[in-house]
Structure 1
Amino acid sequence: MAVIIPAGAEIPTPAPGPRRYGVFDAAVRAPLDNRYVASGVQFYPEDCGVGVLAYDPTCAPPHAEKVFDDTGAEFIEADPYWLYASYKCGTVGTSAGDVRRRVQKRYDAGAQHAVETVMWTGAGLTGVPALTTAGAIPVTPAGAGAGAAVAAAEQAFWDLHGYAGVLHVNTAAYAALGYAQMMTRAGGAGVFRTPLGTALSLGAGYGVTGPAGVAPADGFVWGFITPQTYVWSTEVRQPDPVQTLDRLANQWLALAETVYLHTWVCGDVVAVQIPVAAPAVATAPEVPA
């Protein structure tokens, strides 16, 4: 006698849990005005560089003259880019509301990873700022370990810029950063920071290559310190699934898409190789030059 096993009762999909840490936490988030979706943005970096000089006020000749810096900084420019998630399924037993919800959740799960990937290399998109093509200055730590690497990068960065920045680094380095006590977070929420206040953007979507796409030494990943990073985005847009329905094949074709734009407030960027090993021991790889 055949045994018929009933199908399980469908229940609402369980909640996925908290969003992982990454650039959406470390960056300043803001809505993207529709006026800039087509044209992108540009702005003048008014507070970049360390352009304050000492002056001798004595009256004895030769009289000192104040030097006026006529070197104008270049405008910061950034173009927008589109990210989308798609969902395709048959119509039997599935409503338009089902596919709307499912494509939205698929988008929510992957948006941060996609932004991090684009931010690292530019993904071949025109006019999109990328860490590996930002003209970063590479620095060499004075000692071994993630602490020395971050300290060297912060020193070099603050020789260029007067405000706290953001360290962008692949999550592969987080254990070494934690062991070196380079990660603090007060109150259990918010942004991880170094002891000197640099925000940490630990991106699973980031790569490990350095300036101009140079590969790191074995046992290391490249990290970049930029000025404050901004990420603008439009609201998530979904075409009506009823209008995009493939009626010949009886298939729902759903989309969720957003326009993003990101940049950092100045062009001053430094790069450093950070070891992955934690703790740093004598058998860890040598610090690369």
Structure 2
Amino acid sequence: MLPKINIRLAENRVNTSVAVNQRVPKIFTPGEIISEQKEFMRGHGTYEEDVYLKASVAGVKEQVNKLVSIRPLKSRYNGEIGDVVVGRITEVQQKRWRVDTNSRLDSILLLSSVNLPGGELRRRCAEDEHMMRQYLQEGDLISAEVQNVFSDGSLSLHTRSFKYGKLSQGVMIKVFPSLIKRSKTHFHNLPVGASIILGNNGFIWISSTVSNEEDNVGGFVQNLEEVVPRTDRETIGRLRNCILALAQSKIMLYDTSILYAYEESLKYNVADLLIPEAMVDISILTQHKLNLSENA
């Protein structure tokens, strides 16, 4: 039996780059006048020219009292202390790992900033340094927290809490960091049967629900032999496609918006969620739900 082929005419195609939020803020372009300088203070993404405050990047206006800044729609991740990030090990060096965290420079994870297997707290010795590649090697995915920001913008990470460490079986998605909503926690066990880590750096990790964090043994266990049930894989795939739909329509990503999108996606098959019309439909219905909950 031949597979079903979906062909759309050009006139029927949907422009998925159009934001679906009816209250879309004004987007300033570089060089556009924001206001007169005497009224406001200059923040990130702005510059002074004559008596005016102008945008230096394309983005939306953010104002705190009299401080005005422009938040770019597309940018690299600028880390802040305390941020939760998902990253990929790119290199093993002396007493440190280099980690890709979607920022301008690779981040640093020191050997002294991780919990060794078993969670034991002790001084790191030469033997630990020789075994670094057994703990984390190139290509491994980790969750971590930003411990420090250096003067050149690079980040120092740590995984001293048991909720951080090596990530095992799941799916990673990359979105713009500006779409990740800052909240008290970025680790969520969703009621649909999956766990999600919303990295402030724009990397999102989806996996089966973590049943017991104590089995993590220092954050280095990868349980690759464990078979993920088909239902869990379908849930992970559905969540992935829902997040891509929301990100394409520039909707902020947090646990509530993702759950709303998941509920609206149940009328589609997992593979059909990649059709542009379905992605826009889910985004519109999700935004409508979010507006109703905000006004309630």
Structure number with higher relative contact order (C-alpha < 8 Å, ≥ 6 residues apart): 1
Compare the two structures and name the one with the higher strand fraction: 2
Structure showing greater Rg: 1
Calculate the TM-score normalised by the size of structure 1.
Answer: 0.23
